[in-house]
C-alpha cells in the first residue's frame, strides 16, 4: 500500500464509528486497489471528497501542532489532490 494512503487509512480509522462516509472512505483504502493517492482521489464521490477535505484540513493542522511533519506532509499530498 502507498505510504500516503496508509497514513490516510490510519486517520480515517478514527472516524469510522462516527460517520458512514468515513467508513466508506476507509473501506475504499482497505481494498488496496489503488496504485497511488491520485487513483484513490479519482474514485471518490463528491460527498466523500467534501468530507475528506474537512477532515484533512483539521488533521493536517493537528499533525503540525504535534510537530509530526511526516504525517502532515503525507496527509497534505491527498489534500492537495482534492483542491
The answer to whether the CB of 29 falls within 8 A of the CB of 36 is: no
Model pTM score: 0.89
What does the pLDDT look like over 38-81, one tens digit per residue?
A: 999 999 999 999 999 999 999 999 999 999 999 999 999 999 99
Domain count, the chain: 1
Residue 22 C-alpha cell reads as: 468515513
Supply the range of the domain harboring residue 11.
Answer: 3-82
pLDDT digit string, tens, across residues 3-16: 899 999 999 999 99
Report the alpha-carbon distance of residue 56 to residue 33 in Å, rounded.
21
Amino acid at each position: 500500500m502507498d505510504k500516503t494512503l496508509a497514513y490516510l487509512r490510519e486517520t480515517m480509522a478514527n472516524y469510522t464509528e462516527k460517520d458512514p462516509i468515513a467508513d466508506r472512505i476507509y473501506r475504499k483504502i482497505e481494498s488496496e486497489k489503488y496504485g497511488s493517492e491520485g487513483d484513490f482521489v479519482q474514485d471518490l464521490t463528491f460527498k466523500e471528497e467534501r468530507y475528506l477535505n474537512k477532515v484533512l484540513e483539521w488533521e493536517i493542522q493537528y499533525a503540525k501542532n504535534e510537530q509530526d511533519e511526516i504525517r502532515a506532509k503525507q496527509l497534505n499530498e491527498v489534500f492537495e489532490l482534492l483542491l
